[in-house]
Amino acid sequence: MDVRALSFTGSTRTGRIIQESAAKSNLKVIFLELGGKSPVCIFEDADLEIAAEDTQHSIQVNSGQTCMATTRVYVQESVAEKYIALFKAKFESSSIGDPQKPGTNQGPQADKVQYDNVLKYIEIAKEEGTLALGGSAVEGEGYFIRPTIFTDTPEDARTMKEEIFGPVVHINTFKTEEEVLAKANNTEYGLYASVYTKDLNRAIRFAKGFEAGTVGVNCTSPTQGKDMPFGGFKGSGIGREGLPFYTMNNFLETKTVVVKL
């Protein structure tokens, strides 16, 4: 009961349990940095080479075990074939192995529980969409999973809604701005979202329209403004963290003092 504030980083499921427990104790102030299902919208006027490089890195860094990983890619129909070919070439050329060795850019999943969980989701995804790359474990020692791409997955599919936390990405297509913005926001999460386009007006429309705590324009996660607040909308969290002001402000209270003279 002496603890008056608590910060937690982890899954949305655990965050809910913590918030419930806090309400039942002394109404602790809770700050939560939780999961994500980050979308990226790639328009036909984007630099596809850069977009493919960035989005591939986003899902592969830390073996896909980052809350803001770009796991849902939406690419405009007119350039989808070219983008997917670029993305696939970069993704499948991964060097999987000991992350302490030079040249390795994908290590293992954190433990057997996470390894089994990712493989479970991959099997579910095979029933929901089209497997375009990977879809299996790497033979041998360690919890390694091949870079995996699914395409043409229905928006209401389980693996489009739930956080997988592994090197697994879904790539779907779109025609119009209105269509893709609605798809991008159709999730309980809202941690990071990004848009690739040379049209600045469109970029600003998406920056305003995304339901996400951080928006990248012609860049995606893990790119951040290091001196800017970080946190999520909706099921991705409560509050913001960052350099001293944002983080420390979470543990302070505002007091009003009125003195009658």
Among residues 33, 41, 163, 177, the one annotated as catalytic is: 33
- Return d(Cα 70, Cα 250) in angstroms, integer: 27
Please, what is the Cα angle at 57 between 51 and 59, to 5 degrees?
A: 105
Report d(CA 138, CA 147) in Å as an integer: 10
Interstrand relation of 192-196 and 130-133 (parallel, antiparallel or unpaired): unpaired
Spatial CB neighbours of 32, under 8 Å, sequence gap ≥ 6: 7, 8, 9, 15, 18, 19, 237, 238, 239
Assess contact for 118 and 176: CB atoms under 8 A: no
State both tokens at 30: 């809770």
Question: Catalytic: 33?
Answer: yes
Spell out the residues 6+ positions from residue 105 whose beta carbon is closer than 8 angstroms to its own: 60, 94, 95
Catalytic residue flag (residue 41):
no
* Total residues belonging to the chain: 261
Q: Which of 20, 53, 67, 77 is the catalytic position?
A: 67
Q: Which residues are catalytic?
A: 33, 67
